[in-house]
Structure 1
């Protein structure tokens, strides 16, 4: 996710960054996510600063991604929560959460006997997801940007599966994204001083895949290891140029949380 991190300061586990270039005032940003978020940031290495916004990450996807639970419990809370660090506060910090792709893929397991149906597994995933959001809230975070599952069922990898497997994964992602949307509404009702921007990555990337030439890509399935000439960097992850476009949309969702100095509001964004 090479180019996106230049704007958003994301990491393999959790990264802390000062966002200033386009912010009305210095903003702190913590990114929790899977391989679509990683930069291999090391929480014990150089920390992000105004002179070095990304800190220490060697840009590019890693191979081992700690779970959301691990990122919150073993990285964020011991390293960045009060009283360990006092630089950030509830009004100048945004946390993004981007999980679900691997949870659904592993749970579905290509539909082999014994797989867990979406109607059973997704509620369990949502319970864990919002429980961890509670943990972050209890540490003082109040502004969250949540990102749903993109249409990875249209990735070159998944397009190589049979029709039944593709449909099964697509349904899993659909159930997950709907549950996330409903979960946000429920969570906000009991956390009235918190704000959530829910970014619909699924709808946005679907539009790109349906209209690749509008974004300068030749088609919706080609792969370019440089990340520049195709939507896909490999058969499952999008490239850095696609992430440039994505970053422009994510800033809109961040501005709704006060990144541009405005009053924070909750809402859905594409």
Structure 2
């Protein structure tokens, strides 16, 4: 169930106009399998391709599906560039397969297609939201590789926010709007407590503690980067949803939310981990 603050955010994107646009980037927590050269979102099919709910990590509707079709105050057309297994930049943290599209690749896809506001996607700065939920694979694939995690987390977030800046204005956009892509409304989601996942619970206590500390550091820096980004870009609005806190609340009392427990996993709706 979305939190009241998240519903307020969705009310925000519904306030601009009768038709709003959502451009999302991320990993398997967000993916639906959207590709840019197939059916685009329309009023009768707000996520475009593939057929709803798409190819999600859980096999059913995910948060982006629900928020596009149910938990909003207007028609939201969602262009979901998220790709399962993604990291921020493959040159910094390699994904599980070289074919995985990083957030760097996803943003470039957007810049090559919808960024120029073509006739079939006439979004504006006022009626669009840009979201990024990333970091799970960046940390999960690297938390044990470096002693100086704070420095590496800074490197990761520098790379992420360089991409975010391109969504505001990018020299890559051709040909007429080269200096102003136009993104102004941004939603960032932090890294959930994957140190409590069944995969990590099968590791030793030291590994779990290392990942937890890495997540806490990354999330703390994400707040700082978000604030600095907003301060450096006039007219930008930012939202940061605390996915870590939401997951923690449920994992601390799973049966109260209809789950079997906090440690099992499976394909049934009774499992928190899928």
Short-chain TM bin? 0.7 to 0.9
Equivalent residue for 1:127, pick from 148, 158, 161? 158
Question: Alignment length, in residue pairs?
Answer: 211
Structure 1 moving runs of 4+ over 6 Å: none
**TM norm structure 2:** 0.72
C-alpha separation between the residues in 2 aligned to 1:84 and 1:158?
45
The question of 1:169 aligning with 2:187 is answered no
C-alpha separation between the residues in 2 aligned to 1:70 and 1:212?
36
CA contact (8 A) 1:34 1:65 kept: no
Equivalent residue for 2:113, pick from 73, 76, 79? 79
CA RMSD of aligned residues (A): 2.3
Instruction: Indicate the SS of the match to 1:28.
Output: strand
CA drift of 1:65 comes to 3.8
Matches within 5 A, 1:1-270: 23-24=14-15, 25-57=18-50, 58-61=54-57, 62=84, 65-73=100-108, 75-82=109-116, 84=118, 87-108=122-143, 111=144, 115=146, 117-138=148-169, 139-226=181-268, 228-233=269-274
C-alpha separation between the residues in 2 aligned to 1:150 and 1:126?
16
Query: Structure 1 residues 84 and 26 mapped into 2: Cα distance closer, same or farther (>3 Å)?
Result: closer
CA drift of 1:53 comes to 1.3
C-alpha separation between the residues in 2 aligned to 1:192 and 1:203?
29
**TM norm structure 1:** 0.73
C-alpha separation between the residues in 2 aligned to 1:41 and 1:188?
29
C-alpha separation between the residues in 1 aligned to 2:207 and 2:146?
12
C-alpha separation between the residues in 2 aligned to 1:28 and 1:232?
30
Gaps of 5+ in 1: 9-18, 234-270
Gaps of 5+ in 2: 58-83, 86-98, 170-180
More helix by share: 1
CA drift of 1:97 comes to 0.4
